[in-house]
Amino acid sequence: MGKARKPVQIVILLLVVLLGGYAIATSVFGGDGKPKEGSKAPAFELLGLDGKAHTLDEYKGKAVVLNFWGSWCAPCVKEMPALQAQWEKWKDQGVVVVGVNVGEDQMTVENFVKMVNINFPIVMDPGRDAVRSYGISPMPTTFFINKKGKVDSIHIGQLDLDTLDSQIGKLVGP
């Protein structure tokens, strides 16, 4: 079979290892494609309450607290004051709190924002695009995204002031 035999063998075995490794890796670790701690936060482009489109890229270089909420979700309502307080505390230190409203119309969102008296940026996700790419199932869910755009931690359920404070501290800290 001539001199080509050895290289052919090596190439085929290498291909087997590569493709096989890929097959095993995708089936075992691939899973659902939801972002996990340490992975890159998915991009989004959503309409803000200010009438402008907002993307995650806008906040590059800042730590982002991305909070998914709905006006009908009681724990979401309850954690709003804590979010507002932390927004006021950290906004000058490169931290931005962004609320993503899930599936409601502008009027509901506006009324809600007025009622609970918050002023951090709010974007709306009526088509649930960001919900899908962030793999949100229960609400509220909060993503803590660091300055490099990586997910630092994910909190599912109602946040209280202290956890929020320590999480943000971790994001900003050295």
Partner 1 sequence: MSGRTPLITNTKCECGHQNPVGTVLCEACGKPLDETGNSSENLEMRYDGVARRSQRSNPNVIDLVWNFFSSVKIAIYLIVLTLLGSMLGTIFPQESTFLNIDASTYYKEQYGTAGHIYYKLGLSHTYESWWFVLLLVMIGASLVICSLDRVLPLYKALTRQKIRKHRQFLTRQKVVLVTEMGEEPEEWVGRISQPLKKRGYRVITEGGALLAEKHRFSRWGPYVIHIGLIIFLLAVLARGLPGLNMDQHLAFPQGEVTPIPDTTFYLKNEKFTVEFYTEAEMPEEFRGKKVLPKLYETKAVLYECIADCGDPTRTPQLKEVAAHDIQVNSPLSYNGLKAYQFDYDLTPVLRSVQPELKNKVTGEAYGKFKLEMKNPQRSFEAGPYTLTLKEKYMDFGLNESGQPVSKTPYPNAPAFLFLIKGPGLPADGQQYFYFPKQVDKVQFQQEGINDKLGGADRFLELEVSSMQDVDFSESTAYLNVRVDRAMPFVWIGAGIVMLGLVLGFYWQHRRIWLTVQNGELILGGHTNKNWFGFRREIVSILEKVDMVVDEKSLDNGGGQA
Q: Which residues bind partner 1 (CB under 8 A)?
A: 1, 5-6, 8-10, 12-13, 16, 19-20, 22-24, 26-28, 30, 45-47, 51-53, 70-72, 74, 102-108, 111, 127-129, 132
Q: DSSP letter at 37?
A: T
Q: How far is the CB of 136 from partner 1 (least distance, A)?
A: 14
Question: Residue 139 or residue 145: which is nearer to partner 1 going by CB?
Answer: 139
Among 22, 2, 86, residue whose Cα is nearest residue 99 = 86
Nearer to partner 1, 44 or 90 (CB): 44
CB of 129 to partner 1, least distance (A): 6
Enumerate residues 6+ apart whose C-beta is below 8 A from 37: 151, 152, 153, 154
155 neighbors 79 (Cβ within 8 angstroms): no
CA 124, CA 104: separation in Å to the nearest integer?
7
Smallest separation (angstroms) from partner 1 to the CB of 152: 24
Please say which residue, 104 or 165, places its beta carbon nearer to partner 1. Answer: 104
Q: What are phi and psi of 133, to 5 degrees?
A: -70, -25
Nearer residue to partner 1 within complex by CB, 34 or 89: 34
Residue 38 C-beta: closest distance to partner 1, Å: 19
Question: Could you tell me which residues come within 8 angstroms of residue 27 by beta carbon, excluding any fewer than 6 positions away?
Answer: none
